[in-house]
Amino acid sequence: MTERPILFSGPLVRAILNGRKTETRRLVAKSTSKAFDQTGRACGWRPVPADAKRVDAAMKGEHERRSMLSCPQSGFIAPRIHTRDDLWVRESWRPLLELDDVKPSEIPIGATIMYEADGAWLPDVPGQVEAFGDLQPSIFLPRWASRITLRVTDVRAERLQAIDEAGAMAEGVDPLLPTPDDFDPSKCQRVLDPRAKFRELWDSINGKRDGASWAANPWVWVIKFEVAEVER
């Protein structure tokens, strides 16, 4: 078992805490695909069956074999995250105002911080804005300040657009939050489509990255998890 950090936005942290988000999709390493773009041929990645004999010589560990991809021109690749790994969540946060000029790595362990996902700092909460400093990116959250630990229960590879409605819901999309695709002009009625909401969420995070948009339909690792610990 390995412990690794993982970043989530405020809305997705809230979805984890209220039990709506139990999956996350992460891009297969861009460098792996790019190496084969230079040959002028499509890589043709395919999931490797867990019982494939050729995998035994390439990788060890049942949890790794289940999540591998193979390509005729390359061999095998596996995700960095595996079943039974622990993921500690990094989220946006605010230190106490008195520590606003202190480097995140130097903030004393146990110091009070405000998690942006909680929304408790909002202006309509008396005293909160004045007590805390500037918003800090999730990447700078110290390990000791992480309040959520996730336990990976399964990892598999698939094309991004292979996600179904159940998968979109497991990604934590809000089924009641309207999107432009929710309305059928010909019928003048709202159509709830979790996949459309996930597509919008994905592109808001990855859409500007080369080959990572929904339309590009990249390979992704589908990481399922359960909440192992919430410390605060």
Q: What is the pLDDT of residues 187-197, one digit of tens each?
A: 555 557 889 88
Please report, for the chain, the start and end positions of each structural domain, with discontinuous segments joined by +: 92-145
Residue 128's pLDDT is: 59
| Mean pLDDT of the 70-96 span | 86
- Does the pTM surpass 0.85? The reply is no
Alpha helix positions (H), the chain? 10-17, 30-37, 53-58, 62-66, 128-131, 165-170, 194-206
Separation of alpha carbons 131 and 142, rounded Å: 20
Helix then strand count (H, E) for the chain reads: 7, 12
Assess contact for 165 and 195: CB atoms under 8 A: yes
Task: Map residue 85 onto helix, strand or coil.
Answer: coil
List CB contacts of 125: < 8 A, sequence separation 6 or more.
Answer: none
Q: What is the pLDDT of residues 37-65, one digit of tens each?
A: 444 455 677 777 655 555 555 555 544 55
Looking at the chain, the whole-number percentage of residues with pLDDT higher than 90 is 45
Q: Please tell me what DSSP assigns to residue 49.
A: P
Q: Please tell me what DSSP assigns to residue 188.
A: T
